[in-house]
Amino acid sequence: MKLISGKKAKMGIAMTEYLIILGIVALGCICIFGLFGQEIKVVAKKAMIAMSGGENKEVTDIDASTAANRQTGMLDFIKGGNE
Q: What is the mean pLDDT of each run of 10 residues along the chain (83 residues)?
A: 62 86 95 88 85 65 60 66 53
Nearest to 81 by CA among 27, 53, 33, 42: 42
Q: Please choose, from the candidates 83, 61, 58, 63, the residue with its C-alpha nearest in 3D space to the C-alpha of residue 73.
A: 83
CA angle 63, 41, 70 (to 5 degrees): 55
Sign for the CA dihedral angle at 72, 78, 79, 82 comes to positive
Q: What distance in Å separates the CA atoms of residue 21 and residue 24, rounded to the nearest whole number?
A: 5
pTM of the model: 0.45
